Structure 1
Amino acid sequence: MTHDGGQDEPIDARFRQLFETAPDAMVIVDEHGLIEFVNAQTEELFGYDRAELLGQRVEILIPERFRPNHAGYRAGFVAAPKVRPMGAGTALSGRHKNGSEMAIEVSLNPLSTPRGIVVSAVIREIRERREIEAAAKLASDRLLSAVESVQNPFALFDAHDRLVLCNSAFRRTVPHVAGPVVGKTFEALFDEALTRGFFALEESPAAFRARRLAYRRDPKGVLEVRTTEHRSLRISDRRTAEGGTVSTIWDVTDDAKREDELRQARATAEAASAAKSEFLASMSHELRTPLNAILGFGQLLQRDRKTPLNARQKGMVDQVLKAGEHLLHLIDDVLDLARIEAGNVPLSPEPVSVAGVLLEAKAALDPMADRAGVELVIAPVPDDLPMVCADRTRFAQILMNFGSNAIKYGRQGGRAVFESKVGAAGRVRISVVDDGMGIPEDKQGKLFQPFQRAGQETGPIEGTGIGLTITKRLAEMMGGSVGFRSVAGEGSTFWVELPARQAAAHALVEATNPATQESSPLRDGEGPRYTVLYVEDNPSNIAFMEALVGELERVELFTAPNAEIGIELARARKPEVVLMDINLPGMSGFDALRKLREWPETRAIPVIALSAAAMDRDKKRAEQAGFFRYLTKPVRVDELTDVLESLLMSDPPAPG
């Protein structure tokens, strides 16, 4: 082989062609480090012409900073030659003719010849691979950093349920596991924790193990566990697309403690509320007993004809009776407020006509208004005003409370006006507007708090200071709200807003319109006559039922305002059917049904439940109680008529 730019007979033409077409750069160097051969890929990779490399020291292809030590490395290799494949050793760099550097990988293959050791070097540029490896390492480092930054214990298991990755929080959570945890299966980790007593168990270890592994196989929701260190843990296992599992553990000890504290506080508050209600009920009874004597004997003194009172004595008795009545109202209000706060006020929401309740409230308040010299007026009700969804009795109570305040705090010769209009967001607003003394601005903030009377606590006007509190609570229980505007010396406006029930109103109007009712055999005056008892406390519902049954000439309707009277009437009159409201004052419709079933003379009478509660659970409860049917308000005339026909004119079908 010559060094004059040619490559002659020692290299066979066939081998030369093979070297030239190799995909990697190939360089042959003698034992002195001189380049004897390069192929075309070497020229391409390093940017030199072949003639510029042949006969040069191989260090020409190495960055200058590595050249001083390279001769020693080369001499050591020649002294102890051995094959070094690509990828062995440290990262290497090559130097391009223009001075730039490149990442390379070198394979060395020594060959002994008569002239000494010849080294064949195969050189490959690995810049792209280095970039890919660097990017992969960066992504891996970021993943590890992200996992480590997760505050909650976090672990990743592979498809064979072996731990692949976890953060330090996970290691701290499983300090019971000896040695490295990565590579161990979940089952092995769990069993070691179970054996070392990590878990506080409320069941046998075998049952807990079966439950934990069942959740592991089919992870749905979360699993709650407790440790012997009094920690509460919430575990979530989730499958990955590759068949692995991601496990996350939350330490919810503080949350569990707060829940326990809230539960205990709630129980304590409920117990206190129950005790308060019991105390108030007991006190109400204890106070009413002497009040009964005070008011009773006071009235007897007023009416005593044998020994009539003189004017002075009569004035004294009047004051006693007035004070007694005031005390009785106070007792009633306090007890009512206690029931509301304890949630013991039964409500029967139904479509209610605003105009009808306004007339009732005005009729009840007219005597009070006459005595106070205040004109009580109902402003014209808009024709398009819908019904409201409310408990009729409690709705009337709210209006009478507002109205009585307008009268008490009004001025003689003044006015109090009931106004109504369609409000915002599907609500109806009913207001009471007066031109009385008004409320000072500094007293308005506490107006709806118990025993707050806007500065009139020690004034001449009687009041308990509870009425507005009760009014607000009742309105909110019916899904409504209350509010007011007031200017001292000019008057006040108090209002209540309740949900509108346009559709319900239409249904009720339709039900009470005889033109919409189909013909019924019970309309025919010829034939047997039947009696029906209707137990209901709501006057408008009674009026509706009387109008409905009034069209059925063969049916006689009699009514009872409560369950106690209804039971006695049923025993005395033995009606063919009983229509029973559920939410009755005192004894409920369910209690009344049980009583009717206890007496032989009423046991077989079918009882139909009528209620505004239309939930499935309400119907199911009525069926289980033994009602023959459960009909919801507003009552559909044809449905009720069909049920009455089936009961009165044929053999009664089975209840359902």
Structure 2
Amino acid sequence: MQAPNTPHNETQRLAALHALQVLDTPKQQAFERMTQLARDLFDVPIALVSLVDKERQWFKSHQGLDVCETSRELSFCAHAIAHDAPLVIEDTLQDERFFDNPLVGDLPHIRFYAGYPLRPTNGMAIGTLCLIDSQPRLFSERDVKLLGSLAGQVEELLRQHQLQAELTRTASHFEALFTKSATAKIRIDHTGIIIGINPFALALLGYVEAELIGQNVAMLTPPNIAAQHDSFISRYIQGGEPTVIGRGREVEALHKSGHHIPVHLAINAIHDDQGAVVEFLGVLTDLTGIYDANRRIRKEENLLKVLHQGITDYQALMSGERLWTFLMEALRELTDSDYALIGEVMPTDTTNALKIHAITDLSWSEESKHLMEQLRSGNMTLTNPNSLLGRVFASGDVIMTNDVYRHTKRGGFPSGHPRIDNYLGVPIFNGGQLIGMFAIANSKQPLNQALLDWLQPFTDTCALLINLYRQMAERDQVMSDLGAARDLAEKANQAKSEFLSSMSHELRTPLNAIIGFSQLLGKARRDPLSDKQQRQVGQIEKSGQHLLSLINEVLDLARIEAGHVPLSIEPILIQNVLDDACSTLEATIEAAGITLTCLPFSEPWYVAADYTRTKQVLLNLLSNAIKYNRQHGTISIAAEALDTELRISIIDSGTGIAIERQHELFEPFNRLDAEHGSIEGTGIGLAITRELVERMQGRIGVTSHPDIGSTFWFTLPITERDTSEEPASAFKSAGANASLQHQFQLLYIEDNPANQRLMEDILEEFSHVRLQTVASAELGLEIMRHSPPDLVLMDIHLPGMNGFQALDIMQQDPQLKHIKVIALSANAMERDRSYGLAAGFKDYLTKPIDIDKLTLTLNHFLYAAAITSRKTP
């Protein structure tokens, strides 16, 4: 038996067959009538519509044959497909291809076969209309043509089948898109009558289907629109300019219960073959969640605005005696309340009293008006501990009621007193001490725990401001007030250490002002400070730098563990790093009364390491050796070569560490109970040190004995000196090079008033620089277009357009793209700096500002600008 050949276009042929979607479908009368007609016309016992699949032939119709498929290997039709032409075998026993085919010797005993290829699509032969007889017979050319005509009818049936399958699928798809869609959809006819609505729309509008089908769609619109709705449709059909159809806009839908639902409505017109509108499909997207979210965002923005203004402008508010009125009015606005008060708790010998700083006018008579004036002036305090107010300022309780007149602690209201429906009284604590309270009444918001929690930042801000108010009342000097505010900020920061790592930007922004202004005050030439003031300013800067180092340590550990700290591995002389580290700690060592000895090295060793990070490792280990040493103790530094490594040891005479706890030393935030003592620290210095050493392919360890001392050691790979090193040249100072005689224009884009004032004070020393400060990128761009500066300092987080967006606009503008821009941001992660430089900033400085680094950077760029100006005719 000869197996049929595989056609050269088999892949395309099978694709065409499967696209018909006919394989394994049930019997269809049209195909059965066609094969019966073929049997009758040609007087044969068997007529088949045979489809040749990859491994089989399947019969769509099989008149005279009981089976519905056979193997393709035995298939006569497969030979017709391979032949790609009508195949007639008048006597199979005389044909060497088929005489031994099992279908010839066994049932159905094929002696005659005639098959005409079926090509319903793309000319691909996917099967045959075939005739089979158990007796040999002749088959004329006329018979072949007649069989071809019948095959053409079968092809048409196959095409119709495919079309019907596609229509069915399209209908199912439409059903899913409309009925099962998770979007509200409504169908109306050209007169506005509802002819279909999906379940999602019914749920959104509160109806059942029977209530809407056959009704005008105007019933789903608010009354002010409903009367005009039909005219919208008719005007569109008559060719008028559409307002919603084909465009979409935000509107309100009318719920069955009567309330309005904000939705986005998109309407599409559906036309017939002649272009006439037959119906409209409306798609409604519920915007309730978005509107609610926007309301919450506006509410949060209002809260943040109040907190920001209260903290940043508190000096101006206090000096103008507007602080408490500002807070009271902000509280009323935030809570939609008619009345509010805010006051300070004054401890007495018997109980707490309340000094009211601001209160909404509740007067209803001349006598009550006089009482309100006394309360506002602070000449009168409240002392009754059993009233709704007293329970708050005397006992520190939160009092919340939505029915004042039924509350057990309500006092009597005099005749004519304005009606009070609800009331919320909130105590203000500072570290467990009750220092004030605020209260609201007749709030249009529900009084509940959610509102109380939402107001917590306001409460905390009030606590801060009450403390600042007390401090400013007790002290005359502004620096003392700033020191107290710094202390409060440090306490708050210590209580939120976990929050530090994710809020570096917010923490660095106020530190920028604290450290920057303290540096300026300490270096003031025009108005030098007294020795006492110098010590106070020095303490402010020292404490600010300490807070910054704690923040940096937490962020540094996170960056190192995440592998985000790039290292510049190069040959470095270890002696230079040791000298640098010891010089940095020289004053600390002297103040602690420690004797430091650096044992002589046998030779000048070079190690493969990052200079800055190696110095950080040494500083961490030496700092610990100083902090945990004895009074008048000793520290020794030694180095020895161990094969390919250099081992550096820091040996101290401290109290030592018990052997059973030495394994805890390098765990983050584990200070081995030292946190209960007087020595400051975060407990992550050694964790950072280990990570840095290991990233530089080194090892670290400790040996220690209680009451004797400890030896902390680390290793680094030994390497050869890089002979290509050249000493770096220093920048020229634009300030010193007065011969250039150029007045520089510097534009500073910064929205924070404190940072603006700081930059103005810093640049007072730059007599050749004219500083212009603006609070937004949009205004900065306008200024650049009209008066291009020599250099731009730009914050990243700005209101409206941010720094990156502004830089992109400058780079696209031929008039502005030549202007150099330096980023100055509190985003201080390494990836922030890398991203900023990649975006096109010429340099990326971080807050808090390092004034020396800023000065060096400005000198460098302004010197370059001066050279360019000098060369330009």
Q: Which has the larger radius of gyration?
A: 1
Q: What is the TM-score of this pair, normalised by structure 1?
A: 0.33
